[in-house]
Amino acid sequence: MRYLCLAYEEENRLNVLSRSEWDLLRRETLAYVEELRKKGHMISAEALQSTQTASTVRVRNGRVSITDGPFAETKEQLGGFFLINARDLNEAIQVASRWPSARLGSIEVRPIEEALRESGRYLEAR
């Protein structure tokens, strides 16, 4: 089954890392991505640019509204994602728990819908 893992980070916390701390975190992350590829878990992984480059788009009553930045003002922002294959939610959580930046932020793990439900978007979610 496929799971999307959303990596939330505090941009300010990452910005204050020393060069050696950043280099270590980067090396750990790249090594873990390679390990996941070799084990057949990794489908895709991408880092996102700063929330300062983001725009939020809404359409209400046919009118487009654009806001700078993410929709919610939170301490942690979406910093990237990785899409994995896992046997079940427990295995996906184990994979996510070893993602290096989980020590500095959080990883949200969500199963991928195989098809858009006919009965409604979230009615049968659990």
Query: How do residues 73-87 score in pLDDT, each as one tens digit?
Result: 677 889 999 999 999
Q: Find out whether 98 and 7 touch, Cβ atoms under 8 Å.
A: no
Domain positions in the chain: 2-111
- At the top level of CATH, which class does the domain 2-111 belong to? alpha beta
pLDDT at 76: 85
pLDDT at 95: 98
pLDDT at 75: 78
Task: Please tell me the pTM assigned to this model.
Answer: 0.86
Is the pLDDT assigned to residue 126 strictly greater than 60? no
